Structure 1
Amino acid sequence: MRWIRCAAVATLALTITACTTSPTGRQQFTLMSDAQLNQMGREAYDQYQQDLPAAGQAQQRYAQCVASAIITALPEQERNQDWQIRVFESEQANAFALPGGYMGVNTGLFDVAVNQDQLAAVIGHEVGHVLARHANERVSTQTSTQLALSVLSSAAGMQGPGGEQLMGALGLGAQYGILLPFSRRHESEADVIGLRLMADAGFDPRASLELWDNMSAQGGARPPAWMSTHPSHGQRMQGLQAEMDNAVARYEQARQAGRQPNCPRP
């Protein structure tokens, strides 16, 4: 059909003009400029700081110490971003990263990441999201998926209750078949990048496995991995273990080079 050929040509054109490569060598699809995403990250970060109470200075210095050690070990181009990290008062064991290098850590995370090496696993993971431009890739994937469904709906004349029901099913298929797997791929990739970063900074990468042991011990109901934006704890630990020999070698090399961070826990 003609409309299918047109949609395929348009999709191919977008793909050709928007291909980039992640730090692990994976091909990516990105449509937005870094400047656009960085501005959005800055605005969201400002909103976070307005909405959430800041933690104490000792906790802030602790997170900053770990983040600075990781950032110092980055190549010059990545190191010179406007990296910022803030600690927020919240019982949720969570952290986040926004385009432009803006990161946040909740105080509840310190109950799970109980030493500097485990905290470095979390912060390295968040830095990995930024370096891999995952926000750009996510927005680009969602935009192109929505565009494709809109073109399909218009071209196929899917109006009325029957068409709406079919489009709803197609949208659900896109959610579980494209968008969520993309998110899980991002999380797994950020785990690998973060493992390398923490090792290069002189933090023991084996602490990442201890961190996920702690996470698992917290329990709580979780959806099946195929319905989740994150891999299961077991899947993440398997992925980390597969990279561990290389990470330990990088860690030992960093320690020999004098990278021995000392960030006292408050």
Structure 2
Amino acid sequence: MLAVCCLIFIAGCATSPTGRSQFLLFSTDQLDTMGTQAFSAMKTDLTISTQAVENAYVQCVANALIPHVPKSAFDGQWEVVVFADEQINAFALPGGKIGVYTGLLKVAETDDQLAAVIGHEIGHVIAQHSNERMSQSQLIDMGNQALNAVLAANEVPQNNMIMSAIGLGVQVGVQLPFSRAHESESDTIGLILMAQAGFDPRESVTLWENMAAVSGDKPVELLSTHPSEATRINNLQNNMPSALVDFNNTTSRPQCG
């Protein structure tokens, strides 16, 4: 069992675009298939916007970003869909799928700000965060099953209580910080992506100031899957100098608004 686990770990080792070590168990083809299936289901379950202006606007921003996405993330035709929903959200899935909710367009007030969000979401795909989270979950499940078997075999008292405590510890100590690391990494990747495409990276800070203004009560950052707006802004500002170099080095200035 130990030998198998070691082989799995060695096979799954990878490095993210920002140099962070990753553990990946799934192939790109597997993730692309899953992303395509999930997107098809969403297009069936959700209302797709029929507003020509909204669709053209979002498509324009996405089209400016896509040429700067590494082919290793997806080498094909991206699909962009606007969903008529008041959620302030967007997403990108493996397999070249991008979804934007119309509610986001009320908070992302300019094409630069919308590019910051879409760039962030594409960043998740570039960094293979879905693969990493699924791989982590599978590894944790394997570990929990093995530990539970050991506790049961040795007739350890309060087995269920111990397993519950371990589960909470894993969530707070591993999974939530891991999710926050993904969000911060995607912010960084998205910042560079939007700058390379000719969108003003400084608008990413304004975007998160807008987000903070509309956010209601949220869990403390320690227990949240996302960093606080203040943490995100600080991270963006730390990476702003290199983003501005990319922005100033391109003559492209998309006009989508």
Count of equivalent residues: 255
Q: Is the 8 A contact 2:69 2:126 kept in 1?
A: no
Q: Aligned ranges for residues 64-213 of structure 1 at < 5 Å? A: 64-78=59-73, 80-157=75-152, 162-213=158-209
Question: Aligned to 2:23, which of 20, 23, 29?
Answer: 29
For structure 1, the residue ranges without an aligned partner over 5 or more in a row are 1-5
Letter in 1 for 2:254: P
Report the alpha carbon displacement of residue 74 of structure 1 after superposing the two structures with TM. Answer: 3.1
Cα offset for 1:81? 3.1
Measured in 2, the distance between the counterparts of 1:129 and 1:148 equals 26
- For the pair 1:251 / 2:244, whether they are aligned, the reply is no
TM-score (normalised: structure 1): 0.91
After TM superposition, give the deviation of residue 156 of structure 1 in Å. Answer: 2.6
Unaligned runs of 5+ in 2: none
Q: Structure 1 residue 260 and structure 2 residue 253: aligned?
A: yes
Task: For 1:74 and 1:253, locate their aligned partners in 2 and report how far apart those are by CA, in whole Å.
Answer: 17
- The match for 2:228 is 232
Residue by residue over 1:184-222, the C-alpha shift from the partner in whole angstroms, topping out at 9 and shown as x without a partner, is: 111000000000000000000000000000001113011
Q: Say which of 219, 225, 242 aligns to 1:223.
A: 219
Is contact 2:73-2:125 (8 Å) kept? no
Q: CA RMSD in A?
A: 1.6
Give the Cα separation in 2 of the matches to 1:53 and 1:161: 52
User: Alpha-carbon deviation of 1:38?
Assistant: 1.0
Q: Judging changes above 3 Å, is the alpha-carbon distance between structure 1 residues 78 and 18 closer, same or farther for their aligned structure 2 residues?
A: closer
- The one-letter amino acid of 1:142's match is S
**Residue 244 of structure 1: how far off its partner (Å):** 0.4
